[in-house]
Amino acid sequence: MSGSANGEQAKTDRHPLRVAFEGRDFDGVAEALAPDVVLNSPITALFQFQGRDRVTELLGLVREVFEDLHYEAEFGDAESRAIVFRARVEGHELEGTDILRLDEEGRVREITVFVRPLPGLTALMAALAPRLAAERGRTDAHR
């Protein structure tokens, strides 16, 4: 098989969520998510983001703080995918894995995020906290 054929196969093996997130296409992100999607926080098992709108909003905030995002691997089947990535946040390198559980239509119904090392995770938390608070304030103001 030629190198370009392998490259084409790799492109078709990428989950639509990965493609949309990488390209900052948040309409595409929303389309890749099931309506009742749940995102499990890498920080604590006690906190989840629920619903397509909330998870899309969170992923938008995450994409704002990720610098030099690049994917290293993606593998899985029709029921689940693992996506391995590297990025920097405020100069701190991090590596992560998103475990995607898919519905019958291939949309993401659950995301479990793992991030390491601790300085990278801490930088991610510190960068997201004020953005999440600001988003929460805007959401609460509209109720």
pLDDT greater than 60 at residue 118: yes
Q: How many Cβ atoms from other residues are within 10 Å of residue 105's Cβ?
A: 7
pLDDT higher than threshold 80 for residue 12: no
Banded model confidence at residue 32, pLDDT cuts 50, 70, 90: very high
Residues 13 and 35: their CA atoms lie apart, in Å, by: 23
pLDDT grade for 141, boundaries at 50, 70 and 90 = very low
Band (pLDDT 50/70/90 cuts) for residue 7 is very low
Q: Rounded to 5 degrees, what are φ and ψ at 92?
A: -95, 125
Sheet holding 92-102: strands in order across? 48-50, 33-40, 108-116, 92-102, 80-89, 67-76
